[in-house]
Amino acid sequence: MNIAAKPPLTIRLCGPRGFCAGVDRAIQIVVLALKAYGAPVYVRHEIVHNRYVVEGLEAKGAVFVEELDEIPAEHRAQPVVFSAHGVPKSVPEDANARNLFYLDATCPLVSKVHKQAMRHNRLGRHVVLIGHAGHPEVIGTMGQLPEGTVSLIETVEDADVYQPDDPDNLGYVTQTTLSVDDTAGVIKRLEERFPKLQAPAADSICYATTNRQEVVKEAAPGCDLFIIVGAPNSSNSKRLVEVALRAGAKKSILVQRASELDWDEIGPIATLGLSAGASAPEVIVNEIIEAFRTRFDARVELAETVQENEHFLVNRELRSLELTTADMAFVNGE
């Protein structure tokens, strides 16, 4: 019996992809806290926007809560970790009032945006925050400053109708995970309307967001399909889908696991682009490559623009503990 040959497929695998230094650090903090203090370790909000990561940490003994009042009295000596997205100032204040021991896993680049916003405020400027309403990072950034001192702008249309009390005294910051191109358009419109608008001391969109978007732009032309591994509530992952389409991919989809792939819908393809948002683990990228290899004679070629070597230290309380390859195998693979 003749078995039909698998159709050829070129997979353009983007680099850099997947975990950024801030996400890696946040996950390490939870893993090390479990080693140091034992289960349960509480985590306020998803540590990063990825269900696979959350479930992996739950299996190790992490308990995820939305608010601190969900932590039972008998566990108040156990640590609670604040997510990589950052939290309003009211959250550590609440933790202190409840005598909770907390570890802050806020990405250092998000903390940098907080400081930029506070600097604008300290210099008497009203802060314009470019970002997505309701995103945890936006809530955290707005929560660094007194109510009424920050205005949220999401789109160029918002920038068109924005009416500040003092147009000559504005400073802007942005969410770290936005589309570089979209954000440039919003900033351009704001600067046209408010020539004295002050920029932050350094770019707010983080290096990892920029790098992942740039390599997707390079890889997308000629792709029949572009898959982004990531969660539907991951801002940077959703932006990568949009970037792939704008850059020339015929189709682009967001996938959390290989099991979500609809092979009938995918159909016959010759070139596949593949990347992952900054919260997506490498084990799922490998899982998706293997799923295509079962149906195609797949050849993987690396589309790489830069190499990332950033590393952020974990909290001082955890630095003496050893973090092994086995500790992180649930997200990085063996």
176 closest CA partner among 21, 57, 308, 305: 21
Cα–Cα dist 273/117, whole Å: 37
- 113 contacts 145 by C-beta, under 8 angstroms: no
Q: Is 14 annotated as a binding residue?
A: no
Q: Is 234 annotated as a binding residue?
A: yes
Cα–Cα dist 264/15, whole Å: 28
Q: Is 235 annotated as a binding residue?
A: yes
Torsional class of 134: left (φ above 0), alpha (ψ -120 to 50), beta (otherwise): left
Q: Is 311 annotated as a binding residue?
A: no
310 catalytic residue (yes or no): no
Active-site entry in 67, 70, 137, 154:
137
Indicate which residues carry an active-site annotation.
137
**What residue numbers does the annotated binding site cover?**
20, 49, 85, 107, 135, 176, 206, 234-236, 279
